[in-house]
Amino acid sequence: MIGFGRIGCAVLCAVLGFRCVLAGENNWPTPLEISGFSRNSTTSEISMYLRGLAAAEAGLARVELLGRSVEGRPLELLRLTGPRVVEPVPRLRVLIIGSQHGGAEPAGGEALTSLARELLTEGLRPLLKDLDLFLLSNANPDGRDLKRRANAHRVNLNTDFVLLSQPESQALKIALDRYRPDVVLDVHESAVLKRDTLAREGYVTDFDAQFDVASNPAIPSALRAYAQATFLPALLAETSRGGLTAQRYLGEITHLHQPVTNGGLTLRNFRNAAGMTGALSVLLETKLDPRIDSYPTYRNLKVRVDRQLRCLRAFLTLVAAHRAEIKAQTRVARAALQTEDLVLSAAYVKDPLRPMVRLPMRRLDTRQREVLAFPDHRRLVIGAAAPLPQRLLITAHTALLQPILARQQIRCISANSDQPVSVTALRLSPRSTDVGSPEAAAEVTTTVALPPGSLRVDLNQLNGRLAAVLLDPRAPGSLFDYPAFKALLRPGEAFFIYRVGRQAPRNVP
């Protein structure tokens, strides 16, 4: 078994400031293990541990600062990579995010801290021959230390990836653009006990692990199809072989008669935002055991971390085994980001061939397992599409829009012109200000004079497709889903963002 050895152990322990017994090469206790699984690790403890690992294995690991939280805590990523060799199959870049929901879902951060040790000292180290790994264990350090789900501004970070209003979500966007991962995994926990809803009907949900993939309809169609039809079933099977019951993610079940769907379609969440970069993007949720029960360790933290570790090992094993296939899929997807038409509507509907689905649940009083029937609304219907333009012209409200585009790493330049410009305009329906569907506006070819202060957004850039979605009121996940931006729409008038030309194909490395 591979380990740091006695000298590396001494270095790590000196950095961490605690004693290690040097009899065993793999005696690398994490902060959680040192506490006897009696409490969540703090941000400073996780940071010191990861820095200690990087100091002991400087040739394979280093810590990089992505930014700081609202209260100034570091958002640190551990970068792991093996020796560079010429291989017929290119290396994959894998980004894994833990504990976006802070102290409410701490097991992800603890599991990724343990995973870092396994990748450097134990049986997972061979994966570094095929994978470059980027581990952000503690994506919400303020939430962890304040023992809350949200960040210090009380914002749910996992729904902030359109506005990017918080420094923590901005740091994740930086990571996506800086490292350009081929694969992304967003690690969460999900409470089976819903005190204010399902528990009132006497039940808790029943699962070990749930996975989902990015599903926003603007993500290139071939990548969505591969993720859903090929990768996800293989991941569920690989995880189940490890002894856990794994299923595709189901939307939160809050009462016994609700329709069942899969994960949300919006770009607000990180899974779909990552998919918009052309990465194979995956969500993991493991069971968060009820606090009302009694466990051998604090809130069953030892078992919860073990669940996550088993899922992480299965995920990385599968990714490494299929790296050539995944690399090919992401290469095609990144080319399609610049050319494929934009889908303007998508929705979950009732499945006429399978109107009901039977799901395992547990009674709250006895924890006895029962199988109950729910309406099955997991069929996803994709609607109309529109060509991707070459550029967008923003002729009003630029002071409101430009800061958000800047946070999204979308470049804008001045669009001053002395001559009218030929454009495609969206004329908003006079009957409704409803957005998120192609019926919200009709397309009209016209010419416009650009007022002073207008901006041009060329879509032949890294986040060009994202710009097209954010700035189109018909698209699921646009800025105009938010009240402050929806208020800018004027029914019966031309929309103030115009489209020019159609995007031409180009080669993407």
Question: What token pair was written down for 413?
Answer: 């330049």
Residues of the chain with CATH 3.40.630.10: 5-199+211-245+263-336
pLDDT band at 1 (very low <50, low <70, confident <90, very high): very low
Residue 157 to residues 127, 250, 291, 312, Cα–Cα distance (Å): 30, 20, 23, 22
Cα(262)–Cα(432) distance, rounded to whole angstroms? 29
Give the percent of the chain with pLDDT over 70.
Answer: 91
Maximum Cα–Cα distance for the chain, whole Å?
A: 79
Question: Of the candidates 509, 492, 463, 476, which has an alpha carbon nearest to the alpha carbon of residue 174?
Answer: 463
**pLDDT at 430 (0 to 100):** 67
Instruction: Tell me the average pLDDT across 192-213.
Output: 95
254-280: per-residue pLDDT in tens?
A: 999 999 999 999 999 999 999 999 999
**pLDDT at 344 (0 to 100):** 82
Domain 5-199+211-245+263-336 CATH (choose: 3.65.10.10, 3.30.559.10, 3.20.20.70, 3.40.630.10): 3.40.630.10
**pLDDT at 101 (0 to 100):** 98
pLDDT band at 505 (very low <50, low <70, confident <90, very high): very low
Q: Are 443 and 486 in contact (CB under 8 A)?
A: no
Cα(389)–Cα(501) distance, rounded to whole angstroms? 5
Cα(228)–Cα(96) distance, rounded to whole angstroms? 19
* CA atoms in the 13 A half-sphere facing the CB of 298: 11
Asked if pLDDT for residue 12 goes beyond 80, the answer is: no
382-419: per-residue pLDDT in tens?
A: 888 889 999 999 999 999 999 999 999 999 999 887 78
Query: In whole numbers, what is the pLDDT of the chain averaged over residues?
Result: 90
